[in-house]
Amino acid sequence: MEAASLSISIVTYAPDERLLARTLAGAADAIALARERGSLGATRLQIVDNGPAGLAPMLRTLGDAALARAHGVTLEVVTGQGNVGFGQGHNLAIARSTDDFHLILNPDVEMERDAIDAALRYLHQHPEVGAVTPSARGPDGRREYLVKAHPSPGVLFVRGFVPRFLRGLFRKPLDAYELRHLDWEKVQSPVRIASGCFLFCRATALDAVRGFDPAYFLYFEDFDLTLRLSKVTTVAYCPQVRIVHHGGKAASKGLRHIAWFVKSARRFFAAHGRVAAR
């Protein structure tokens, strides 16, 4: 296969420096391996600095240190725009890219060393697929279900705000929402809704939907994006693309995050309905 070009965007806001350093190191190692195997050529890493002010030098230092493991990668710190939100931050990076593929990556994700190579090879073998979502584990090794069924307000409330020890009372709808009946050791294609913590996309697919909807400041922008992508291309779950996700829940982050969550949920349901479209 011909070596593809790739841009990677990471949007940060007051990141955990140690975790971001691990994310960047994992990305650098995956870039290096994909280049060694011949699937990857020119690569650009864009760190989008949404604030607070004064963190850009630290972000560049972390980026430079990580990319010492993968020579020749272009590093860009996009800064000065203020806190424009998660999706719009990625849109800034996507707009600057002229590469074949674009990876949307969270600053709390560590990818396996062969993740980029595996994604590129799958996309090369499946030209009808426009975006790939990975197999994810938490730091404790437990599977995370990044692919979801169309959510209901009730399921979202239980997941966000009901104490974990009471969630057994809602096990059936929660399991259905996470599609636990599917075999996640196998490719699942197509899928319609997936987390945006790691989303490996053809640039043409992102261009077709014009990236993220900037009206979502935080939360649900990834569900909205993958639903819109699924209307113009195929989104596939690939178990051979593996990550570790150090994620958190909205309810644990304070009232401001809860307010953003509720506002974005309202927009999502207004746009896509409360049940999956037939």
- Rg from Cα positions in the chain: 18
Per-residue model confidence as pLDDT tens digits over 192-244: 999 999 999 999 999 999 999 999 999 999 999 999 999 999 999 999 999 99
pLDDT above 90 as % of the chain: 87
Q: Which residue has the tokens 């800034």?
A: 92
- Average pLDDT across the chain, whole number: 94
pLDDT higher than threshold 50 for residue 278: no
Q: How confident is the model at residue 266 (pLDDT cuts 50, 70, 90)?
A: very high
Q: How confident is the model at residue 276 (pLDDT cuts 50, 70, 90)?
A: low
Longest Cα–Cα distance of the chain, Å, equals 53
| Closest listed residue to residue 227, CA positions, set 260, 175, 263, 275 | 275
Residue 1 token pair: 């296969």
Give pLDDT, residue 253.
Answer: 64
pLDDT higher than threshold 80 for residue 249: no
For residue 210, give the DSSP letter. Answer: T
Per-residue model confidence as pLDDT tens digits over 80-100: 999 999 999 999 999 999 999
Residue 262 token pair: 């509720």
The torsion angle over the Cα atoms of residues 8, 62, 243 and 82, rounded to 10 degrees, is: -60
Q: Are 160 and 249 in contact (CB under 8 A)?
A: yes
Q: Span 4-272: which CATH code?
A: 3.90.550.10
Give pLDDT, residue 159.
Answer: 86
**Local structure of 186: helix, strand or coil:** coil
